[in-house]
Amino acid sequence: MARYTRIPGSIALITLMNPPVNALSAAVRQGITDTVGRAVSDPEVKAVVLCGENGKFCGGADIREFAGPMTGPPLIPMIDAIEAAEKPVVAAIEGIALGGGLELALACHYRIAHVKARLGLPEVTLGLLPGAGGTQRLPRLIGVPAALDLIVTGRHVSAQEALKLGIVDQVTDGNIQEVAMEFAQSMSATLNSRC
């Protein structure tokens, strides 16, 4: 599932909750769909921060659900709805953003990573390709050669390498949620002053 918190001011904080790695189970996909919809339709909310509980952004698809039939909202429309949101969505990446978790972050409009975070598209190690926009969004962001390297090797990169490659916009050693909310607040103030 996903928790929705209205932060005083104009920010909605959406927290993925699915221990141990906040994988994108049916309940989490439903939670993200519902909370993003709620944030977008609330006129008081000007920007959204997406994070994961317990120091982990998201470990990707929930491998515990691979054996059963697909239930819950599909991943791709859920991720596309974030990209299409008319309010800025900031990914606060702590711990890991892997597979569908990185694809989720790639659909956000700004990515801040904690200095100890690791990011990657390990689908190839499971015999899969990134199927939720990673093969489009990553090359657009960092170029085809660098994206292909990550997609065909499945290797994880550090936050610093992700910053150098252009996968994330900012790296912090501070409290990731506070840094992301502060950034979202300033982004919404700038946007408001121009509208």
Q: Contact residues for ligand TC6 (CB under 6 A)? A: 20-21, 23, 59-64, 75, 96, 98-100, 122-123, 126, 128, 131-132
- Gap between the Cα atoms of 138 and 162, Å rounded: 11
- Gap between the Cα atoms of 29 and 46, Å rounded: 22
Q: Is 178 a catalytic residue?
A: no
User: Shortest Cβ distance from residue 180 to ligand TC6 (Å)?
Assistant: 21
Q: Which amino acid is at 151?
A: I
Active-site residue (options: 53, 65, 86, 103): 103
User: Shortest Cβ distance from residue 127 to ligand TC6 (Å)?
Assistant: 10
The answer to whether the peptide bond before residue 20 is cis (omega within 30 degrees of 0) is: yes
In the numeric block, which tokens belong to residue 68?
């059963």
User: Shortest Cβ distance from residue 102 to ligand TC6 (Å)?
Assistant: 8
| DSSP three-state, residue 125 | helix
Q: State how far the alpha carbon of 89 is from the alpha carbons of 11, 13, 46, 50, 82, in Å.
A: 10, 10, 9, 7, 7
Q: Which is nearer to ligand TC6, 52 or 100 (CB)?
A: 100
Q: Which is nearer to ligand TC6, 32 or 40 (CB)?
A: 32
Closest residue to ligand TC6 using C-beta atoms: 99
Q: Which is nearer to ligand TC6, 88 or 122 (CB)?
A: 122
